[in-house]
Amino acid sequence: MIEFDKISDFFSEFYDFKLSDERSYFDFHLHTTQAKRRGSLPFYLEFLKDKHHLIAITDHNEIKGAISVAEAGINNVPAIELACKDGFEILIYFRKLQDLEDFYIREVECRKHFCRMERTDKDIEYYLDVLVGRDCYLSIPHINGLAGHNYLQNKPYIKKILTRVDAIETYNHSLPKNRNINAQIIRRSYELDATFGSDSCTNRDIESFYRLLNQELRRQHKWMESLKLPLGSDRLYKPSSSHKGNSD
């Protein structure tokens, strides 16, 4: 189940529409061909043109895709999926494209590994320190993912990291249901917000996620109607504090 009600109000300034039963698309973990994926700008333009939407292009250690969709007028949260030296990946969202560009130039572009360009030469704790005080929002993707993306198993310092972020990605369309459920359990344990996304590799994955997303929205609306909740209570976000910064 996608946790629409656990999304932070950080994202609220990026859209001014209510959720609808159909033709809505929200995706906070999306890739483009700039990151050697198959989702392309022409496809996104065609796919989103008749939909209420809010997306975040989160290419690995790259922002060309995020800049391209912004210039094309697509409703996009400036973001990046930062891949660190230690193999830890984190989704970083900014309010302004300029803030994303500044962070990328200062802390990512110049630190890319000379032979592994999808990693930097600094670990996750370095970046958490650097991000303290910046107007950004942090979410851990695929926390219970496959192989190296299963941080619960292969990152012994994961509990410390969990105290320094704002959210956990509790639905990743590329993962089995049980792994997403486990991410939701961890989110509740640490009282964090939730993000969700397709983590798409192909256009087909995006279309599949769109169908699931709207099934979940319809189910939520039926639940709200059964409770007779007031009009306007179906906003995507909820109040939330900014990321925790340094844990010391």
Domains and CATH numbers, the chain: 4-13+22-238 (3.20.20.140)
pLDDT of residue 243: 64
CB 54 within 8 A of CB 30: no
Confidence class for position 40, pLDDT limits 50, 70, 90: confident
Range scoring the smallest mean pLDDT among 40-49, 89-98, 124-133: 40-49
Q: Is the pLDDT of residue 45 over 50?
A: yes
Q: Residue 186: its pLDDT value, please?
A: 98
Residue with tokens 């360009």: 117
- Assess whether pLDDT exceeds 80 at residue 167: yes
Categorize the per-residue pLDDT at 227 as very low, low, confident or very high, splitting at 50, 70 and 90. low
User: Could you tell me the CA-to-CA distances from 32 to 5, 57, 65, 97 in Å, in that order?
Assistant: 27, 7, 6, 17
- Each residue's pLDDT tens digit, 171-207: 999 999 999 999 999 999 999 999 999 998 688 999 9
Give the tokens for residue 99: 């803030």
pLDDT at 117: 58
